Structure 1
Amino acid sequence: MASSSSDPATTPTEFISLFAVPKGALAQQLTDEISHLAHREAAPPFPPHVTVAGAAKSRAEALQLAEQLAGRVKPYRINFTGVSAGTTFYQCVYLLVAQEEGTMAAAAAAREVFGLTGAPPYMPHLSLLYSDMDQGERQRVVEYETSRLYGDSPATRLLESGFDVGSLQVWSTPLDDSSLKSWRLVGEVRLVGQ
């Protein structure tokens, strides 16, 4: 059953994202690391997450579709493979996620349920930094984060190599807000697929 933090029935169409979210000590470590990088690079902080899908929907419709999806997707594991950089604001520096069966099946089911035909190939990742910095700066941050999360220091070494996904969170994530201050948790669905 979806839990909701607001009345979704009166919400107009907006951009909705489905997130797989780490829990416990790993979630706190990643939250701290994202905040550290945001402060260091003058960028916005955000909650740690792996985006499963994103679409323009009303909150009510998104919650209904997320419930349908949860009935089709069984719990799965996300495994990190290292730090990398992309070319866009939302894929600046991230932990790359292994394209394993459970991760890819969840994304494929989400695309089908949410009607996302023609979307680019799914590249699962957990962002550490959102920024429009140039590629040289991105590579500098990749090296810095690789040292912190995979180096010898027990104070910053990644606590776990990934996390188990037993639920998906539904978020309102307006694309025109690069400050991310308007992001809101809409609800969460427990994965019950067989």
Structure 2
Amino acid sequence: FFLGSNSVCVWTLIKPIMEEVKKEVYSVWALPDEETEPRFRKLMEALRSEFAGPRFDPHVTVVGAINLTADEAKKMFEAACDGLKVYSATVDRVATGTFFYQCVFLLLRSTPEVMKAGEHCKNHFQFSTTTPYMPHLSLLYAELTEEEKKKAQEKANALDNTLDGLSFRINRLALCKTDTEDKTLESWEKVAVCNLSP
């Protein structure tokens, strides 16, 4: 009996510690300004109504999926926010990719400002990848054929024909839990949002 009650005490101590060291998949998103966001959202909803796919907020990923504890993620996110100012991004064109998370997207111009922001965040998160940073704002997550992707791309251009060359401000960063195995996105969660300094 004594051993049983003692083990309960041990577990009450161990569980919070285990929660702290548990690693989850996090990403950092750069969020478009409040004036432009509804425009992107409307376009995303129109594409989703025809081609299906999960709902997600308009964003530009600056740090891809990285395994961290909640504490590590919070500290790194705060440090990244602290040294970054509002910056501008410009749409190059509507493009298509080769996998689910890059199905149809707005390819952004790789301006020094955009690339520097991406590098800044990656450095704070000690995130390294062999793939060069390709700034983009996804419009649709889906598994489509090449023909369907082309159709979705054409639809996006028809719905909003002034996207090419569109400039907008990135004025917030968001820390998100993004388990990439969950293609429903139901487990995805925005953990924190910070406003960038002007």
TM-score range, shorter chain: 0.7 to 0.9
Higher relative contact order at CA 8 Å, sep ≥6: structure 1 or structure 2? 1
1:176 aligns to 2:181 (yes or no): yes
Greater share of helix = 2
Unaligned runs of 5+ in 1: 1-8, 151-156
SS in 2 for 1:37: helix
RMSD (Å), alpha carbons: 2.1
> Structure 1 residue 73: deviation in Å?
2.2
Give the structure with higher Rg (CA): 2
Inter-partner Cα distance in structure 2 for 1:115 and 1:69: 11
SS in 2 for 1:45: coil
Q: How many residue pairs align between the two structures? A: 178
Opposite residue 23 of structure 2, the aligned amino acid is: T
Inter-partner Cα distance in structure 1 for 2:190 and 2:76: 16
Structure 2 residue aligned with 1:167: 172
Inter-partner Cα distance in structure 2 for 1:43 and 1:167: 25
Unaligned runs of 5+ in 2: 1-17
Tell me which of 127, 139, 143 is aligned to 1:116: 127
SS in 1 for 2:29: strand
TM-score normalised to the size of structure 1?
A: 0.84
Identify if the C-alpha distance between structure 1 residues 98 and 47 changes in structure 2 by more than 3 Å, giving closer, same or farther. same
SS in 2 for 1:110: helix
SS in 1 for 2:139: strand
Inter-partner Cα distance in structure 2 for 1:79 and 1:141: 21
The ranges of structure 1 where at least 4 consecutive aligned residues each deviate by more than 4 angstroms after the TM superposition are none
Inter-partner Cα distance in structure 2 for 1:25 and 1:109: 25
Identify if the C-alpha distance between structure 1 residues 118 and 47 changes in structure 2 by more than 3 Å, giving closer, same or farther. closer
CA contact (8 A) 1:19 1:49 kept: yes
CA contact (8 A) 1:59 1:186 kept: no
1:67 aligns to 2:72 (yes or no): no
> Structure 1 residue 74: deviation in Å?
2.4
Structure 2 residue aligned with 1:37: 47
Q: Percent identity, please.
A: 30
> Structure 1 residue 89: deviation in Å?
0.5
